[in-house]
């Protein structure tokens, strides 16, 4: 090959590489501020009013109905409420309400993202009817509990373990069930498969559980007609940098195989964010010998019971 042709090819190759690098740099300059904004809006508590003790979606008729029905249940049982408080392993004040129905068994209800303990009231009555006490908690960063960043279940799972130990010590609880909605399922599964999980956590019910948070967040972005690349993965990087959570490794699909407790999966065929086929994967991989997957034809994501 003539020397001049070699030089031309090298120059052209260099131009292509520099153009690609320049394009990537330009894309990042444009999209990093967008991803930071998305992360802050969706996963960071910027003030006490954000994720407070109020209805998270007052424009949603079903959500308001659930909220009102739950609050009516709590008001009917207000004489059973005991305000409770613990301090997390990393020093945060966490708050909850314990409904004492004079049982040895207690359900801890783990709500979804953006939801305070009042949202959990709606899920309490079936457990009361089944003979359980009910513990509704403000997850870290929600309600009255302290904290800033959602860790997608990693740090929250340690809080769940702390609440279970608190129930055993303060109320002589013999058995704990975890009822988990959406992101609460990540907290519950990570808690149940943690080496420090107390033996009193013997049951778990997960509703609308995702395989990993990246997949669920991607479905939200698609539903809202937002471009996913590269914002989606930049948001996931933000989660890692701020909380240490690797959304692919610290995820239900990676941990569910270690579950030995009695496990109930609730899923709707209409779930847009935790796809039904993903629920099948979770169920099949679940390590429990006592497990069940129940399908519902009606109800959206986290709105099965209504």
pLDDT at res. 12: 56
Q: Hey, which residues does 110 pair with through a beta bridge? A: 180
- Report whether pLDDT(162) > 70: yes
pLDDT at res. 36: 94
- Report whether pLDDT(15) > 60: no
- Report whether pLDDT(16) > 80: no
Q: CA 118, CA 138: separation in Å to the nearest integer?
A: 8
- Report whether pLDDT(275) > 60: yes
Please choose, from the candidates 209, 200, 207, 208, the residue with its C-alpha nearest in 3D space to the C-alpha of residue 177. Answer: 200
pLDDT at res. 31: 86
* Average pLDDT rounded to a whole number, residues 239-251: 97
Q: What percent of the chain has pLDDT over 70?
A: 91
Express each pLDDT in 55-103 by its tens digit: 999 999 999 999 999 999 999 999 999 999 999 999 999 999 999 999 9
Give me the numbers of helices (H) and strands (E) for the chain, helices first please: 10, 8
* Average pLDDT rounded to a whole number, residues 210-231: 95
Query: Is the sign of the CA dihedral 286, 273, 239, 41 positive or negative?
Result: negative
- Report whether pLDDT(304) > 90: yes
Query: DSSP readout, 70-99?
Result: HHHHHHHTGGGEEEEEEE-TTS-EEEEEEE
The model's confidence at residue 146, banded by pLDDT at 50, 70 and 90, is very high
Q: What is the 3-state secondary structure (H, E, C) of 185-200?
A: HHHHHHHHCCCCCCCC
Q: CA 240, CA 231: separation in Å to the nearest integer?
A: 14
- By DSSP bridging, strand 175-181 and strand 133-137 are unpaired
* Average pLDDT rounded to a whole number, residues 180-194: 98
Sequence-distant (≥ 6) Cβ neighbours of residue 40 within 8 angstroms: 46
* Average pLDDT rounded to a whole number, residues 35-47: 95
The model's confidence at residue 18, banded by pLDDT at 50, 70 and 90, is very low
Question: Which residue shows structure tokens 């444009």?
Answer: 30
Q: CA 102, CA 75: separation in Å to the nearest integer?
A: 18
pLDDT at res. 30: 80
pLDDT at res. 54: 95
- Report whether pLDDT(220) > 90: yes
* Residue that wins the pLDDT comparison between 221 and 30: 221
Specify the pTM. Answer: 0.92
| Average pLDDT across the chain, whole number | 93
């Amino acid at each position: 090959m003539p020397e001049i042709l070699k030089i031309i090819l090298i120059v052209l190759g260099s131009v292509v590489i520099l153009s690609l690098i320049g394009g990537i740099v330009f894309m990042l300059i444009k999209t990093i501020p967008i991803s930071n904004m998305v992360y802050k809006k969706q996963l960071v508590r910027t003030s006490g009013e954000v994720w407070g003790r109020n209805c998270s979606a007052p424009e949603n008729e079903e959500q308001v109905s659930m909220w009102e029905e739950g609050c009516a249940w709590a008001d009917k049982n207000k004489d059973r409420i005991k305000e409770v408080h613990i301090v997390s392993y990393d020093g945060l004040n966490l708050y909850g309400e314990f409904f004492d129905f004079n049982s040895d068994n207690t359900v801890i209800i783990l709500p979804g993202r953006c939801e305070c303990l009042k949202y959990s009231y709606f899920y309490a009555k079936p457990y009361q009817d089944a003979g359980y006490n009910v513990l509704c908690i403000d997850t870290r960063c929600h309600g009255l509990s302290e904290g800033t960043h959602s860790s997608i279940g990693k740090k929250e799972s340690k809080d769940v373990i702390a609440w279970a130990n608190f129930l055993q010590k303060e109320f002589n609880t013999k058995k704990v069930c975890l009822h988990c909605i959406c992101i609460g399922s990540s907290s519950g599964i990570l808690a149940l498969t943690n080496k420090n999980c107390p033996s009193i956590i013997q049951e778990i019910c997960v509703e609308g559980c995702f395989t990993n948070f990246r997949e669920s967040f991607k479905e939200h972005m698609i539903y809202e007609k937002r471009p996913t690349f590269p914002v989606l993965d930049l948001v996931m990087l933000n989660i890692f940098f701020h909380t240490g959570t690797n959304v692919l490794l610290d995820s239900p699909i990676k941990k569910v195989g270690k579950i030995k407790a009695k496990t109930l999966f609730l899923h709707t065929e209409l779930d847009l964010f935790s796809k039904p086929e993903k629920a099948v994967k979770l169920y099949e991989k679940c390590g429990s010998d006592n497990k069940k997957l129940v399908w519902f034809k009606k109800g959206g994501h986290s709105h099965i019971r209504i």
